Chain A
Amino acid sequence: MTKKELQMKSVFLRKNLLKYIYKAKAGHTGGSLSCVDTLNVLYNRVLNVEPSNFRDPSRDRYIQSKGHCVEALFVTLADRGFFPESDLETLCQYQSHYIGHPTKKVNGVEQNTGALGHGLSICVGEAIAAKLDHKTHRVFTLLGDGELPEGSNWEAFLSASHYKLDNLYAILDNNKQQITGYNKEVMNIDSIREKLESFGWAVKEIDGHNLEELEGALNNGPFETGKPNFIIAHTIKGKGVSYMEGVTKWHHGVPTPEQYELALSELTEAEALI
């Protein structure tokens, strides 16, 4: 896939996740739009994971700790052929496996997440097991910035550096917002870089909507031998739809028909500029 095709893919995934949120009349719109570039790069440039090797113990692992942004994950997995996209027509319907959080009933999903503050600890376990078994695959997780105050994350930060898990990559979708508003007002997590460095992690800061920077960081680890990798991806909540960007209520807002059309036309315009 060329650089241009990858950029087009991001627009396609944005349109698609909006489509299924719109149809299901439910979903985590803002946070899906902020992390979908990361997912695009992970599944199309970084992870050694595809439908054919999904049961292979040596595959790379991706566990989405901010499980509420499942729509970004589902459209990415569908696009990579883990299941037919038409399955998503049943999103959030009675007896559908495609619910509002990732579950293993969906092909391609590693763990059932949705309660925040679980993904990183599971990844620490996966990463320790990889080391014990002398395997070279990598383990990735995606954290929300509002999720960081969960104490379990800090327990996991300690164990990851204690066990020198340089095969572990934690990506922070740093969109600066959560349900109630800005992280700063809800629970300040400033100086993340310093905090993580003092916990023994190697930290990189990137523009989380710049696909090259994402690929550069995710494919060039470990940043320091013997240290777990932390990527602060600076992002914008609602990225790509002007009226959603940085607007708190779009955390789980569902567009009206007019808003939906407007979002699609904005994305089509963006596509034309690529």
Chain B
Amino acid sequence: MELDKIEEKDLKMGKANQEVFSITLQELAETNKDIIAVTSDSRGSGKLVPFGQKYPNQIVEVGIAEQNLVGVAAGLASAGKNVFAVSPACFLSARALEQIKNDVCYSDNPVTLVGISAGVSYGALGTTHHSLHDYAVLRAINNITILAPADNFETEQAVRLAAQHDKPIYMRFGKKTMPFLNENNKTFEFGKGRVIRDGDDIAIIASGETVYPAWLAAKKLEDDHDIKATVISMHTIKPLDLNLIENLAKNGRPIIIVEEHMVTGGLGEACASHLFQHGFKNPFQIIGIPDEYTVTGSQVEIFNHYGISKEGIYKTCKKMLNI
């Protein structure tokens, strides 16, 4: 693949995914007057201030009240509106969990829940502001698609598809500037992992903002040891791309999952469960946040601490390959 020839310095940097979310939503809202953004004093962090100025009739503000946010969004959706409920991922997926479970998923109201500043994007604001549980709790709820786009391309596609989708969706975004990852691969479909890089020796499955360090680690493995690593952006956590996972596992290569989430209940455990139940015995490792009092610091510091970094992923891969 051509992308393998790209050097780190040549990667085209884009914007923060949550900014692309807001730009895309604005574009959609211009022609689709049913699009409504619902916010909870969150339009600043959701980059929706320009949206609110341009389309004052397409934004509903509920104040700091996330449960109300999701309930109101469900009502709007039920009445035929195309609703994006936007709030920090931590509050949206914890505070409003019952509204998500009952009013959105169980009652099947097609709301798109947009969790901003997800994972540990809020860094030193601490655990109240981290969402390291959202995949886990939402995976355990029926009738919701869970998305964590890796780059600006995936983000734009996800938002456009969400506007046409008639089922509940949760998508989470971070606030870090992201590079474009594999511009040659222009396919994006819910439930289909995106191949960012291809190689037979080891497979790294990542999601959201962890795909970038996974790609860097893969590059370094090739540069230093001529190890060819596949890197997958598993942007859809649910429904999981089981075909792809099985295909990756078939040649017996080690599989590493990287996620900005607690290891408990995350993408890694979802992959492990499927592989184990289908008789696969690949070496398997999950790099994520362990079940402990999360170390304090910025997102980068937390990532480095737990090995969710170029160096950390590189080291784990080497260990699994015994080199």
Contact = CB atoms under 8 A, between A and B. Distances in A.
B122 to A, nearest CB: 8
Contact of B43 (A100, A117, A180): A180
A113 B128 contact: yes
A116 B63 CA distance: 12
Interface stretch (B155-163, B179-187, B228-236, B295-303): B295-303
Nearest to B67: A151
Contacts of B63: 146, 149, 178, 183, 186-187
A95 interface: yes
A265 interface: no
B127 interface: yes
Contact of A114 (B62, B95, B128, B298): B128
Interface in A2-38: 26
B124 A92 contact: yes
A186 B125 contact: no
Interface string B118-140: 00000111111100000000000
B125 A95 contact: no
B68 interface: yes
Contact of B61 (A93, A147, A186): A186
Given A26-B124, A94-B298, A101-B125, A115 B90 contact: yes
A99 interface: yes
Given A97-B296, A146-B63, A147-B64, A67 B41 contact: no
B68 A115 contact: no
A151 B68 contact: yes
Chain B interface residue bracket vs A? 20 to 34
B218 to A, nearest CB: 27
A125 to B, nearest CB: 19
Interface string A106-149: 00000011111100000000000000000000000000001111
A96 interface: yes
Contacts of A187: 41, 61-65
A150 interface: yes
Contacts of B45: 179
Contact of A112 (B64, B128, B298): B128
Contacts of A159: none
Interface string A45-70: 00000000000000000000001000
A210 interface: no
B68 A100 contact: no
26 contacts: A26-B124, A92-B124, A94-B305, A95-B297, A96-B124, A96-B296, A99-B125, A101-B128, A114-B129, A115-B90, A115-B94, A146-B41, A146-B63, A147-B64, A149-B62, A149-B65, A149-B68, A151-B65, A151-B67, A151-B68, A178-B41, A178-B63, A179-B45, A180-B43, A186-B63, A187-B65
